[in-house]
Amino acid sequence: MDLPEISDRLEIQDLIARYCHAIDRQELDELDSIFTEDAVIDYTAFGAPRGGVEETKRFLSEALALHSAYYHLAATSRIVLHGDSAECHTICHNPMVLKGQGGRPDTFYLCGLWYHDRLVRTPAGWRIAERVEEKCYLATVPEARLS
């Protein structure tokens, strides 16, 4: 592995981390510097929409407001470089707490998924041109005690 390849891999790994932090910190405008302007983002595996960056930001803003806690744990990315394009497959563990409504308690659930990304090198650096979620599991934790 030469230095340019190492640099590309590190930049792509940082891009994946920036995506997670942007969502978990509700800094959704950061997604503009993570995805290409014409990116396709497919969250349909969990019943969410497929769309562009602006549609995704609107969806996430509404969906995150229904939750009191969540985070992304993304790891074990497999990056395949093809010059100025790349494929990246990353596993993600995503615990979430849905706010209770109508007197019901909060619901703690776990999402396990793969992100399948197609990336391109742009003048501003690597960007995700397409992201497709693949569902691995969705589990509700019964009567979890949340503090």
Neighbours of 117 (CB within 10 A): 26
Closest CA to 118 of 74, 79, 73, 91: 79
Q: Does domain 3-141 have CATH number 3.10.450.50?
A: yes
Determine the pLDDT at residue 46. Answer: 94
Q: Do strands 50-51 and 35-42 pair parallel, antiparallel, or not at all (unpaired)?
A: antiparallel
The pLDDT of residue 143: 66
Dist CA 31 CA 42 (whole Å): 14
Which one, of 27, 54, 52, 30, lies nearest residue 41 by Cα?
A: 52
The pTM of the full predicted model, rounded to 2 decimals, is 0.93
Confidence at residue 147, expressed as pLDDT on a 0 to 100 scale: 59
Per-residue pLDDT of the chain (147 residues; tens, 9 = 90+): 899 999 999 999 999 999 999 999 999 999 999 999 999 999 999 999 999 999 999 999 999 999 999 999 999 999 999 999 999 999 999 999 999 887 788 899 999 999 999 999 999 999 999 999 999 999 998 766 655
Site of tokens 């340019």: 4
Contact in structure between 79 and 128 (CB atoms under 8 Å): no
